[in-house]
Structure 1
Amino acid sequence: MTAIHDVAIIGGGLVGASLAIALEGSGLDVAMVEAAPAGAMPAVFDERNLSFAEATVNALAALGVMQRLRAPTGAIVRIHASRRGDFGRVLLEAAEHGREAFGQVVVARDFGEALEARLSGVAGLVRHRGTRFTGFGAVGDGCRVLELAGEGPPRMRARLVVAADGATSGVRDALGIGASRHDYGQVLMVARLRAARAPDGTAYERLGDDGPTALLPRGDRAWGLVHGVAAADAEAVKALDETGFLARVQDAFGWRVGRLLSVGPRSAYPAVAVRAAALAATRAVLVGNAAQSIHPVGAQGFNLGLRDALTLAGLLVACARRGGDPGEASLLSAYVARREEDRRRTLEFSDGLARITANPGHAASLLRSAGLVALAALPSLRAGLVGGAMGYRGDVPDACRSGAAR
C-alpha cells in the first residue's frame, strides 16, 4: 500500500528543513523528500554568508537550531550603506533602535550542520533521502499522489504537498503554476576575505553599476564578501588570480576596512529573481525560493522564505489541534492571505533597490543621493527601514517575535 502522510515536504534545504522542525509535536504525520543522500549536505549549504535578520534569529532559537551552531556567528551591530559616485551615506546603529544587534551572519555550511543536528532528533519525521520528486498522479480521496525516483519509495500520498524545492521548482511546474523571471545581468562572487581591519560588527554595502559589494562581519574574524559583477565580465573575473581579484574588490569597495589581504575560494551565483504566479493549488503550497527568489541586495531571501515556512507551520498546528484537514482549501487561502503583505513589500523593496542602485544615469544618481541624505537626517525613515530589515513586515509569525527556546 502507498503510504499516506498528512504533509509531504519536497526539498530538504534551509526552508524545507526549518518547516519540518517547526511541525514537531503537532501530531501531524510529516514526510520530507530530500534529493541529497544520507550523509551528504544539500548544495545550498556551502560557503555563502547568510545574513539572519533579528526575526529569523528569534525563530531559529525558538526552534532549537541557533543553539546547535558550532561556529561563532557575527553580530551585525551597525549597517553602513553607500553608492559609488553618489554623495551621502546611511549609517544605522542597532543601539539607537534599542537592539544589541540587527541580526547575525552565519555561514551556510554551519547552518546546514545545525539543521541536520536538529532534524536528527525530530520525532516522527519520515525522511526519504536520495529521492527526487518526478511528478503527480491523480488527486483523489483527499490526497495527492507523488511519483518519486531514487532510494525512497516510488510513490506516496499526501493530504498536503509543500514545494520547498528551490527557484527551479519541479513541484511548481508540475502544479502548472507559472513564474515570472528577471535576470539582473549580474553575477555575485562570494568568498571569505581578510582585511587589515578585523570585523567590528559593521555590515558594509557598497553599491555600484554592476551590483553590490558587501562585507559582512563573520564570527571567525574574517569578512564575508559578496561582489557583484556584470554577467558579461563574470568569466574574466573568475579567472583572476588572488592579487587581481583583491585589487578589483578594493577598487569597488574602497578602504573602509583598510587593505584587503587575502581571499578564500570563490563561488559565483547569477542574480535572477523568480516569482511564482500563485502560492497555492489544490492540496499544495509553495514556500521559500519555490515561491519567490529575490536579488540578494538587502539580504532578505532566506529571511522571507523562513517566514513562509513559519506562517504555514502555525496554520497547520492550529488545524491539527481542531482535527482538521491539512490540505483543506480554507487553510491554503489563509496561508496566501497572511503572506501577501510581507511578500509583496519585501519583493518590491528588493527589486526596487536592485534596479535603482544599478542605474548609472545622472537623474538616478541625484534621486539616490537625495534618498541617502533623507535617510541620514530623518529618524522616522530610518525606523521604517530598520523594521523591515529585521524581518518585521506584515503578518509576522509568533516565533519571530520571541527567542524563547523549546
Structure 2
Amino acid sequence: MNAPDSPLRGPVLIVGGGLVGASLAIALDAAGVDATLVEAAPPRADAQPSYDERNLALARATVNGLDAIGVWAHAREGATAIGHIHVSRAGEFGSVRLDARDAGLDALGWTLPARELGAALLRRLEACTRLERLAPARLETLEPIPGGWRAQVRTAEGVRGLDTPLLVGADGTDSFVRERLGIAAETHDYGQTLFVCTVTPEREHEHRAYERFSDEGPVAMLPLAGRRCGLVLTVPAAQAAATTGLDDAGYLALAQRRFGWRLGRLTRPGRRFPYAIRRVAAARLTTPRAVLVGNAAQTVHPIGAQGFNLGLRDALTLAELAAGAADPGDERLLAAYAARRAPDREGTMAMSHGLVQLACLPQPWLAPLRSMALLACDRVPPLKHALLRRGMGFRGTPPQAVLERTP
C-alpha cells in the first residue's frame, strides 16, 4: 500500500500503547510534536499487557533516555543498579566479567519490573500537553490518502476517523499495522519457552547480574531490591508443560541445577509466567508515510535483555528526527530514520540470534571455541571495551537523548 507524499496537517498517529509506543508518545510530546496514541487496553498499569511481571534489565543508554524524557524520575525509586555482569556457560571454562568501575561508572544499567516502568510511563503520559490518548481503542482499517493515512478507530464512543501525515506501528510482535502496510516479516521459532519469576537467594546479590548458558537454553539472574532477584529461565518448548506443572520445590530444584550455587540456595519463588520465544524481523522499517518501531519492527530473543532497550532507541531516534520538522512523514526523514537505525538494529539482532545459536548448541567440539571466545572478550581490552559499550546500549549512531547524562 502506498500513500501519496503531499503532507497532511495533523498529529502523528501511534498505534500501540505498550512500553515503546508510550515512550514514543512522551518523546514526541517533549519534542513539541502533536501525536495521537491508540491503546488497546484501558489507561491503567494493571490492564496493559506489556506492563507485566517481567523484570527488565535497562541498559545505561536506556536509563539516560528515560531520564531525558522525564520518565526516570517516576521510576528511579523502584530500580536496582547493575554494577557487575557475569557471563558463563555450564561445564566449560572461560567467562566474561563486566564491571562498572572499569568504565568509571556507578552502574552499567538498572533492573526494574515492567509493571513499575509501565506505571512511570502512565504518570508521565498524564503530563503530556500535545498528546491525545484513545484508550481503550482498536484500529479497524487503514487506507492511504493524499499526504498520509486515514485510520478508522473504534472507541467506547463509536468509530472515529483519523487522518495523519505519519503512521507509526508500535503494536507489537503480531503487528496489525505491519500486516496492513504489506511489510513482510521473517519469523524464527527458537523452540524455547521463557519462565520469569522472583526468587530470594541465600547470599546477597551485591548488584551483580548473571547470564548462564547451557544446552537447555540460557538462564539469567537479575538483582532486585530487598535482596530479591529476577530469575529468567529458558527451557525447550517440549518441556514447557512439565515445567509449568512443577510445584515450588520442583521449580527451585530445576532453577538451582541450571543456575548453580553462586548465590547459594534459592528460596521463595514468586508466581511464574511463561513466554514462548520467537524472532520476528520486518523486511523493512518504513513505507511511504509509515514507520515501524519496537517489537513491530523486530522482536529479538530475550537473551541479553535487548528488546525494550532496542525499541526505546527506535522511539527516541524517530522523535529526534521529527522535532522541528515541518512534515514528520517526509520521505527523507523516514529514510534518515531507517539509515540511523540500521547499524544498531542489525547488530543487536545478529548478536542476539548468533549468541543463542552458538552458546546453546550442544556440540562438544564447540566447547573449547566458546571458552576461548569468552576468555578473549574478558582479557583483550579492545574487545571488552566494545562489549561493554554495546551492552550499555551505545551502538551505531545513538539518539542524543541516550548520550551520557546523570540519571
* TM-score bracket, shorter-length normalisation: over 0.9
Q: Report how far residue 378 of structure 1 moved.
A: 1.2
Residue-by-residue CA offset, 1:284-303 (whole Å, 9 max, x unaligned): 00000000010011111111
Identical-pair percentage: 46
Tell me, in whole angstroms, the C-alpha distance in 1 between the residues paired with 2:30 and 2:364. 57
The equivalent residue for 2:4 is: none
Say which SS state the counterpart of residue 263 (structure 1) adopts: coil
Confirm or deny that 1:79 pairs with 2:81. no
Is 1:316 the counterpart of 2:300? The answer is no
Q: Output the TM-score relative to the length of structure 1.
A: 0.95
Deviates more, 1:102-111 or 1:3-12: 3-12
Structure 1 residue 71 displacement after superposition:
4.5
- Which of these residues, 255, 258, 261, is aligned with residue 252 of structure 1? 258
Q: Could you list the per-position Cα deviations for residues 269-310 of structure 1 after superposition, in whole angstroms to 9, with x for gaps in the alignment?
A: 111110000100111000000000100111111111000000
Within the alignment, does 1:207 sit opposite 2:208 as a pair?
no
Out of 325, 329, 332, the position equivalent to 1:330 is 332
- Cα distance, 1:220 vs. partner? 3.1
Identify if the C-alpha distance between structure 1 residues 63 and 27 changes in structure 2 by more than 3 Å, giving closer, same or farther: closer
Letter matched to residue 316 of structure 1: A
Contact 2:39–2:138 (CA<8 Å) still a contact in 1? yes
Residue pair 2:31, 2:320 contacting (<8 A) in 1 also: no
Once structures 1 and 2 are overlaid, which stretch shifts more, 52-61 or 374-383?
374-383
Aligned pairs for 1:146-185 (under 5 A) are 146-151=151-156, 153-185=159-191
How far did 1:72 drift?
Answer: 2.5
Counterpart in the other structure of 2:224: 218
Matches within 5 A, 1:106-117: 106-117=112-123
Unaligned stretches of 5+ residues in structure 2: 1-7
Q: 1:90 to 1:28 in 2, by over 3 A?
A: closer
Deviation, structure 1 residue 6:
2.4
Q: Partner amino acid for 1:154? A: R
Q: Distance in 2 between matches of 1:219 and 1:155?
A: 46
Which residue matches 2:388?
386
Return the offset for 1:61: 0.8
Q: What per-residue deviation string (whole Å, max 9, x for no partner) do you get for residues 29-88 of structure 1?
A: 210000002345311111101001010011101111111127421111001111012111
Q: Structure 1: which 5+ runs fail to align? A: none
State the shift of 1:357 in Å: 0.9
The one-letter code of the counterpart of 1:250 is Q
Name the CA distance, whole Å, in 1 between partners of 2:51 and 2:77. Answer: 14
- Over aligned residue pairs, what C-alpha RMSD do you find? 1.5
How far apart are the structure 1 equivalents of 2:171 and 2:121?
Answer: 16
* Partner Cα distance (1:127, 1:242) in 2: 41
> Match of 2:344?
342
CA distance in 2, matches of 1:363, 1:274: 30
Larger deviation, residues 20-29 vs 365-374:
20-29
| Conservation of the 8 A alpha-carbon contact between 1:146 and 1:156 | yes
Which of 56, 65, 71 in structure 1 is aligned with 2:62?
56
Q: Residue 274 of structure 1 corresponds to which residue in structure 2?
A: 280
Which residue matches 2:361? 359
For 1:375 and 1:402, locate their aligned partners in 2 and report how far apart those are by CA, in whole Å.
Answer: 24
2:194–2:277 contact (8 Å) kept in structure 1: yes
Paired residue secondary structure (1:318)? coil
Cross-structure match for 1:7: 12
Contact 1:105 1:219 in 2 (8 A): no
1:140 and 2:142 matched: no
Instruction: Give 1:277's aligned amino acid.
Output: A
- Paired letter, 1:142: G
Aligned position for 1:22: 27
Q: What CA deviation, in whole Å up to 9, does each residue of 1:247-273 have, x standing for no partner?
A: 000001110000011100000111111
> 2:239 matched to 1:237?
no
Mapping of residues 33-52 of structure 1, within 5 Å: 33-39=38-44, 40-52=46-58
Residue type of the partner of 2:362? P
For residues 148 and 46 of structure 1, what CA distance do their matches in structure 2 show?
Answer: 25
Task: Give the partner amino acid of 1:56.
Answer: T
Across the two proteins, how many residue pairs are aligned to each other? 398
Query: In structure 2, what is the Cα distance between the partners aligned to 1:38 and 1:197?
Result: 39
Q: Distance in 2 between matches of 1:83 and 1:146?
A: 49
> Once the 2 structures are TM-superposed, how far is the Cα of residue 123 of structure 1 from its aligned partner?
0.5
SS at match of 1:247: helix
Give CA deviations for 1:334-388 in whole Å, capped at 9, x if unaligned.
Answer: 1111111111111111110011011000122221111112122212211110110
Whole-Å separation in 2 of the counterparts to 1:37 and 1:216: 30
